[in-house]
Structure 1
Amino acid sequence: MAYEIPVTQARAELADLINRVVYGGERVVVTRHGKPLVALVSAADLERLEDTPESPGERMITSVATVPDAPASAPRERPQRIGVAAEHRGPNPS
């Protein structure tokens, strides 16, 4: 289980937190308003995480191929319209 600490407290105790992670083998989760924000893990833990094979549902696209243009003789279909609605709520939504 990871040790949780608020970001304001983590700023003041960063050196101690680093020592807990490196030498104590702990994992530290820094929170903001009670929600996890970042995690401090040892370099060895990070290396293990990066070496873990991805599950089939979590593959990342690493390259994008282009699709060739349609032949000029092909009939053009009417472009499909996709509606997108958005609302801007300033810094203080009410």
Structure 2
Amino acid sequence: MAYEIPVTQARAELAELINRVVYGGERVVVTRHGKPLVALVSAADLGKLEAGEEAAAQEQVIRSVSPLGSVASAPGEPRRFGIAAEHRGENDREG
């Protein structure tokens, strides 16, 4: 649970709040009129949050594309969208 503090009080206690976050491992939410305004988190926590956002974004892209790969071809056209060309060696050429 985060420690909440009004912005006016946070202004006066900024150095102490930084110490609570860095050394105490706390998260501090600064409020204005009782509503969350900003949060103070350690640089390590920020890195974890950003890494999680990046991983979530990548997962969303994968989920949006992966159903396309599982769609079956229409009957009678099993390889229409399969391999477009095959490599043939010099001995395999017709002609």
Shorter-normalised TM-score: what interval? Answer: 0.5 to 0.7
Supply the RMSD in Å over aligned alpha carbons.
Answer: 1.3
How many correspondences in the alignment? 57
Give the Cα–Cα distance (whole angstroms) in 2 for the partners of residues 21 and 49 of structure 1: 15
Give the Cα–Cα distance (whole angstroms) in 2 for the partners of residues 54 and 30 of structure 1: 27
Alignment counterpart, residue 54 of structure 1, candidates 56, 67, 87: 56
Residues 17-75 of structure 1, C-alpha deviations (whole Å, 9 max, x = no match) = 00000000000000000000000000000000011122529xxxxxxxxxxxxxxxxxx
Equivalences for 1:58-73 in 2 at 5 Å? none
> Max radius of gyration: which structure?
2
Give the structure-2-normalised TM-score: 0.57
Equivalences for 1:74-85 in 2 at 5 Å? none
Q: Percent identity?
A: 82
Equivalences for 1:1-94 in 2 at 5 Å? 1-52=1-52, 53-54=55-56, 56=60
Greater fraction of residues in helix: 2
